[in-house]
Structures are given as C-alpha cells and as structure tokens.
Amino acid sequence: MSTGRKAMLQENVFGPKGERLVHVLPIQVSEENEDYCLCITVTRDEEVYITLMKIMNKGLKEMYMIQDVWYLEDLTLVDGKDATSDNPHLDLHFQTVCSWEASSTAAKYAFVRSLRKVNKVYLQKDIQFLNFDSDFIQEMNFFGVPEDTLLVIQLCLQAFNCICLLGSL
C-alpha cells in the first residue's frame, strides 16, 4: 500500500482517535471503486487492534469506513495456508475464522511480521503461526535494510537457485 494512503488513514481515521497506525495490508475484494485493507493499530492505552477498512473512491476524494475491528489479544492462530508456494491467502482465527487474500505474498508476509512484532512488544501472547516459511516471518534487521527488501532478495535468490538446478539437468 502506498505511503500516501497509509498517511491519509493515519491522519483521517486513526489519528483523531489517538491511535497509531502500524501496518496496512491491502486485501483483494471484487467490488468496483472500493478498496479494502487490514490495519494494525495501537491505542494510547497500548491495546492493539486489527481493523478492516473499506476505502471508497469518490472522484478525487477517498471515503473511509471501518467494517470490523478485532483485538489482537483475541487472535489465536494465523494460518498462511501453504508455506511451499507463492500464496497470498491467510486465515486469522479469532472467535470465528476470517479468510483474506492479500494483494501479494510479500504483503502477506510483511503483515505477519508486523503482527509478530506488535505482539512481542505489547502482548507477549502465544499466537500460533502455521504454514509460513519461518525464514520470511523472522525479524531481519541485521543488515539495516527494510524487511520487505530482504524478502524480495530471498525470493529472487531462491528462484535463481531453481533456475540453476533446472539448467544443470
């Protein structure tokens, strides 16, 4: 999601409520002129929420509607569906299971890393993460580059290794 949209969400939706927007995950929904996203926010009281936002484009103006909100403390399981393939789907298990399709696999992994990080900082709750490649959901700040950049580099190296292996056959 563009930094501009994230800044607009912070300014227009979460900032006035005293919340800090940590991460935005664009999700795929087949409705015209409307975008959806999952937002991770932290309140002044250090409560962590996951919010489903609907973003409607009305000409040059965007309108924001909160569709649903869940507490991070109610999250018990995050299921990546398949760790062995390029898969943007994930399930969040609250009292019910919410299934989503992220805009990309890289976006899904960035969202999961953000969930793990805010959980570690604010809750220290035992949330299960299933069907994820553990190399991609670990914090990777050792090299001082953004985590998304490292994810892309790792994916490219794996693809290159596959091509080399196929070429040597």
- Residue 160 is predicted with a pLDDT of 84
Share of the chain above pLDDT 90, in %: 61
- Residue 1 is predicted with a pLDDT of 52
pLDDT digit string, tens, across residues 98-133 = 999 999 999 999 999 999 999 999 999 999 999 998
Share of the chain above pLDDT 70, in %: 89
The three-state DSSP-derived secondary structure of the chain is CCHHHHHHHHHHHHHHHCCEEEEEEEECCCCCCEEEEEEEEECCCCCEEEEEEEEEEECCEEEEEEEEEEEHHHCCEEECCCCCCCCCEEEEECCCEEEEEECCHHHHHHHHHHHHHHHHHHHCCCCEEECCCHHHHCCCCCCCCCHHHHHHHHHHHHHHHHHHHHHCC
* Residue among 86, 82, 87, 103 at smallest CA distance from 35: 103
**b (16+ CB within 10 A) / e for 118-148:** bbeebbeeebebeebbeebbeebeeeeeebe
pLDDT digit string, tens, across residues 41-62 = 999 999 999 999 998 888 888 8
- Residue 100 is predicted with a pLDDT of 93
pTM confidence score: 0.78
Q: Is the pLDDT of residue 154 over 60?
A: yes
Q: Is the pLDDT of residue 38 over 60?
A: yes
